[in-house]
Structure 1
Amino acid sequence: MLHPQLEENYKIEKREKPHSCEICGASFNQKNSLVAHIRTHTGEKPYSCTDCGSSFTEKANLVKHMRIHTGVKPYSCSMCGNSFTQKASLVLHMRTHTGEKPFSCETCGSSFSRKDTLVDHMRIHSGEKPYSCEVCGASFSRKNSFVYHMRIHNGEKPYSCEVCGTSFRQKNSLVAHIRTHSGEKPYSCQTCDSSFRHKSSLDAHLHTHTGIKPHFCEKCGSFFSDKANLVKHMRTHSGEKPYSCRVCGSSFSENASLVTHVRTHTGEKPYSCEMCSSSFAYKETLVAHIRKHTGETPYSCEICGSSFRQKNSLVAHIRTHSAEKPFSCTDCGSSFTEKANLVKHMRIHSGEKPYSCSVCGNSFTLKGTLVSHMLTHTGEKPYSCEICDSSFSRKNILVNHMRIHSGEKPYSCEVCNSSFSRKDSLTSHLRIHTDEKPYSCEACGSVFSHKKTLVTHMRTHTERT
């Protein structure tokens, strides 16, 4: 015979639930539970948030939601003091202290602290992928993987950096990005004390001590110490550039390249020189700049012995020996040893003059030309001749001037062997042989080989008037 209290509890459990749903047959002890349940069929959500407009089927869910706006976290952990908006979140959190994992996989015995984590895990065994993308057909076993994937199609990047405005699809990507501003490197190597912003970078670094390169490119046979580098490498074969700039639309194969590119729009210069306080957008530019102070030129040419502060300067210099000019203009066919020179050249065709004088408004295609122009306003002539004390606003004018003293004439005509101290003098001389006449009179159409001849001619028109 059961104890009276146990018998009463048994009767309560067996008691019929008087409130039934006519749609699906579910039964409830209380009428308000039935009312809330029916809304799952009708889609009615009578409880709305006045702050953001979100709607809910039950008042209790609205109360929980409002804590997002009010910041109220009524459930606190007695062990570490962390607070939570929902009791269920506190229950889950407590398991991080107790180590409790009440949800076990019957297939492999793995245990989990949360039921939804077990549900996701079970799909490893079943192969089930219930979340499908309607755009490309990709399927996923976890909802958060599906949500992340959809942002690739819709372009949504809900996590923004408050420092530079860069946005990300995932919160952990934002967390890692913020470290580029703070300089924080929480992942340290116990072998050599190197520190890293990302755990994956530390994992890859550890392979430098072991020499292991487990990731293999099937296209070209290259090996890599970590999967991320293999993924980046594969883009050299596919040409994929998944990282796009929201401002100008430029695309990049690596996120790091996008981050540095964005600085061209924001003007951010996070790398500062401790010797002169100059700031730079790129770390490698700072490293090269510091060599101006130290005098270090670690990159040497094996042909002539010239040395340089930057590796790319050495690469460009070597082309002066090989005569290689890999960067070509699609408009006129001119070729250049450096990409930067091609970019400058293209402004001749486009007419772009991105460097403007703040004093008179004149614009220039080259930054160096603007710097020289500014000296016409300041009157500064920083380049002095050591022989006659003449001063000049530009270095190339000083170089030309020095040839007056040395008698040097490095520019020779291949037709008649005449020599000149200045390149523009040679260019002007060659028109004698080519009969080129690039200067035209707007008044009468006469053409001339030299600008000064045109200027003299123009006086014949002004004197008549």
Structure 2
Amino acid sequence: MSAISVEISKDFKVCGEASSSNSKATNHRYSCKVCGKTYSSNVKAHMRTHTGEKPYSCEVCGKSFATNVDVKVHMRTHTGEKRFSCEICDKPFAYKSSVKVHMRIHTGEKPFHCETCGIAYSTSSSLKSHTETHNTENKVVCEVCGKGFANNYRVKIHMRIHTGERPFPCSICGSAFIKSHDFKIHMARHTGNKPYSCEVCGSSFVIKTHVQRHMRTHTGEKPYSCEVCSKSFTTNSILKIHMRTHTGVKPYPCIVCGMAFSNYSAAKDHLRIHTGEKPFSCEFCGKTFGNKSHAAMHMRRTHTGEKPYSCKVCDKAFATNAELKSHMRTHTGEKPFSCDVCGSRFSTSSNAKGHMRTHTGEKPYSCDICGKAFAGKSTAKVHMMTHSREGRYSCKVCGKAVSCKSVLIQHMRTHTENLNAY
């Protein structure tokens, strides 16, 4: 027994007077000699917060607790018992504290405020994640790439990117993962187990935090904002990736060609260009893709015709969120991509990259038939039609077929000056 617990058991401090027996002081308040807090009973249980003693253990998993009451509450994680329910929507919970947090969805209460920027949150964990966006002082640095982290554990996880270590293998398909979080999500694809669901639309998730993040699609909340351009985001991770557009940091290099990327998933997708791996397949035609989003985009454009992303200004619908974002710039006039050489600005990154080739002279797209090189993919595609006898565009006057619309317009001038008729 520790020195603290011996001292308390021998000499409780009761109302300023000493007593050698608990029974003599049942109607008094006890004062802890360590922290000064007072209790009407169970001072021994309080002392365990100082000694770290946990004499009660769970019979199922062996986890230890300071009090028997804590064990009983913990047992609900095994039994599935949910004694408490929401008075508004009747959703059941295992803990009273969970009901209190849940109620904030209905009341809109956000009692946790950021001392730096004033943004309010419904949970302390959300506030804690947010405050990290203000903390620019990283304590531990990766010896390979120099990236900074808050603690040694995060550096350890990050190092697996450099070493290639994947300690979480799937026993079903053989895939391996760097993080236990990613492994858990992957396994749910095999088992179909998604225990957390959205109260608004019913969508189910593997991770509880994913539900909280998903809820922002309904509330429109974007609690993470960029200190440079004030643009807001739904998650802290997306904000961190966005910040690299300002800093130019690209911490994920390709191990084959050295090309660097601002986020890990982009680097992972790029690597498949070298390996030829295409793990994502179309459910209809079996066509395979190296990128999950490309597979989903193919499904919508080729088979389902689904366009779930619509513009709130003109109601035009799109197959992907990226296409919607690009379209929105036609309304806002935003041109976030600039040329480093001449300063010209563009609404899409692809247009900016294409423009850069006017400075570099690069022509990465070549004709498979004659070998002629082009700066743009679309230009190469139009050129390829010149090798085909069948023209896509035909003249309404003489029937002549040509390979592209611009050539047709030029041809029409031989018939009329009135271009508006065509």
TM-score by length of 2: 0.52
1:403 counterpart (385, 402, 412): 385
Higher relative CO (CA 8 A, sep ≥ 6), structure 1 or 2? Answer: 2
1:268 counterpart (239, 249, 273): 249
* Number of corresponding residues: 315
* Greater Cα offset, 296-305 or 235-244: 235-244
1:106 counterpart (23, 29, 42): 42
Which ranges in structure 2 are unaligned for 5 or more consecutive residues?
Answer: 1-33, 54-66, 71-95, 97-108, 113-120, 141-148, 162-166
- Alignment of 1:255 onto 2:236: yes
Q: Distance in 1 between matches of 2:345 and 2:391?
A: 33
**AA of the residue aligned to 1:309:** G
**Which deviations, in whole Å up to 9, do the C-alpha atoms of 1:81-100 show, x marking residues without a partner?**
xxxxxxxxxx99xxxxxxxx
Contact preservation (8 Å) 1:216, 1:222: yes
In structure 2, relative to structure 1, the CA distance for the partners of 1:261 and 1:355 (3 Å cut) is: closer
Match of 1:299 in 2: 280
**AA of the residue aligned to 1:401:** H
Match of 1:228 in 2: 209
In structure 2, relative to structure 1, the CA distance for the partners of 1:398 and 1:191 (3 Å cut) is: closer
In structure 2, relative to structure 1, the CA distance for the partners of 1:234 and 1:268 (3 Å cut) is: same
Superposition pairs for residues 123-272 of structure 1, below 5 Å?
159-162=135-138, 174-175=150-151, 179=155, 182-183=158-159, 227-272=208-253
1:421 counterpart (400, 403, 414): 403
**AA of the residue aligned to 1:114:** H
In structure 2, relative to structure 1, the CA distance for the partners of 1:301 and 1:213 (3 Å cut) is: closer
C-alpha displacement of 1:397: 2.7
**AA of the residue aligned to 2:136:** S
**Which deviations, in whole Å up to 9, do the C-alpha atoms of 1:214-266 show, x marking residues without a partner?**
76665566666654344445445544443333333333333333333333333
- Alignment of 1:320 onto 2:301: yes
Contact preservation (8 Å) 2:168, 2:179: no
Match of 1:337 in 2: 319
Contact preservation (8 Å) 1:244, 1:252: yes
Superposition pairs for residues 348-427 of structure 1, below 5 Å?
348-385=330-367, 387-388=369-370, 390-411=372-393, 419-425=401-407
In structure 2, relative to structure 1, the CA distance for the partners of 1:393 and 1:212 (3 Å cut) is: closer
Matched-pair identity in % = 38
C-alpha displacement of 1:288: 0.9
C-alpha displacement of 1:315: 1.3
Contact preservation (8 Å) 2:224, 2:235: yes
C-alpha displacement of 1:310: 0.8
Q: Distance in 1 between matches of 2:398 and 2:315?
A: 28
Q: Distance in 2 between matches of 1:293 and 1:341?
A: 27
C-alpha displacement of 1:290: 0.8
**AA of the residue aligned to 1:160:** T
In structure 2, relative to structure 1, the CA distance for the partners of 1:236 and 1:308 (3 Å cut) is: same
**AA of the residue aligned to 2:48:** F
Match of 2:261 in 1: 280
In structure 2, relative to structure 1, the CA distance for the partners of 1:415 and 1:351 (3 Å cut) is: farther
* Greater Cα offset, 392-401 or 325-334: 325-334
In structure 2, relative to structure 1, the CA distance for the partners of 1:195 and 1:161 (3 Å cut) is: farther
Q: Distance in 2 between matches of 1:298 and 1:260?
A: 25
Q: Distance in 2 between matches of 1:266 and 1:412?
A: 50
Match of 1:22 in 2: none
Contact preservation (8 Å) 1:325, 1:336: yes
Which entry has the higher C-alpha Rg, 1 or 2? 1
Q: Distance in 2 between matches of 1:279 and 1:213?
A: 35
Q: Distance in 1 between matches of 2:338 and 2:200?
A: 48
Q: Distance in 1 between matches of 2:214 and 2:312?
A: 28
Q: Tell me the C-alpha RMSD between the 2 structures.
A: 5.8
TM-score by length of 1: 0.48
Superposition pairs for residues 58-73 of structure 1, below 5 Å?
none
